[in-house]
Amino acid sequence: MMDLIVFRVGNNRYALNIENIQRIIQAKELTAIPNSHELIDGMMSHEEKVIKVLNFRKLIGLIPYEQELQKSFAIFKLSYQEWLNELKDSLENGSLFTKTTNPHKCELGMWLDGFNSYDDRVTAVLKELMLGHKHIYSLGGDALELYKTDEEKAKSMLNREIHEAFKKVTHSLDIFISELESVSNSLQKLIIYEKNGITFAIKVDAIEDIAHIEESKIMSSHEDYITGKYLELSGILDIESVLINVIKNIDIPK
């Protein structure tokens, strides 16, 4: 039997033998290393040692996590504006409102519901954003209900309360976006890994599971599983129809 830590990077799942893993900790701010290898994010102190941090996204050719978050939040901002535009059209012209008034059912709401921060500053900004997000969706639902009996009051509500709430929540959203580096650290994890007496950290998006498997369950591939100079895969696991790349060997650039 093998015990593997399963982690996610982007849409991909990987598994790493637990016997080489010392700890899993929250990502943190790092100290830059001048002229370091492009795969190295920096260095950090760990148990009276200074260790390097290998960015797994860079290792497999994905964009940095912070950039991915920036793309997501650009979409969230656009969706917010589209939501307001459709609400305005419904209250001014009587057109059918097809979007949700449930703050937990939109893309931003679902993202916020799944996010927990270990950074006090990020937590404060997150709280402000969530309050504003829930408030404007509540106002939208109230205005649509009011429109059924009093169109003018519903329009007045749109022009005053809803527009004011929209300004506040987009301001909170902009502040949250400005903190995406800290948000990224609040989400990502560091796997403290030891190999041949060398300890380093591997930055990944999320830890998903611990898998107990028979080595015989690892399926070979028709492709060459040498991914690169610093990463070697031994095959694929299929766990409940989720394909997981099993890591045979991982090194850190000198």
Reported as half-sphere exposure (CB side, CA atoms, 13 A), residue 136 has a value of 28
Enumerate residues 6+ apart whose C-beta is below 8 A from 175.
125, 128, 129
49 and 76 share one domain: no
Tell me the C-alpha distance between 176 and 124, whole Å. Answer: 10
57 and 134 share one domain: no
* Rounded (5°) CA angle 72-247-20: 105
pLDDT tens sequence across 97-139 = 999 999 999 999 999 998 877 788 888 889 999 999 999 999 9
**Residue 51 sits in a domain of what CATH number?**
2.40.50.180
Tell me the C-alpha distance between 187 and 150, whole Å. Answer: 45
pLDDT tens sequence across 37-94 = 999 999 999 888 899 999 999 999 999 898 999 999 999 999 999 999 999 999 999 9
> Last residue of some domain: 183, 202, 236?
183
143 and 35 share one domain: no
Instruction: Indicate whether 234 pLDDT > 60.
Output: yes
179 and 194 share one domain: no
User: What's the average model confidence in pLDDT over 200-211?
Assistant: 93
103 and 35 share one domain: no
101 and 164 share one domain: yes
CA 153 to chain CA centroid, nearest Å: 40
Give residue 224's pLDDT band: very low, low, confident or very high (50, 70, 90): very low
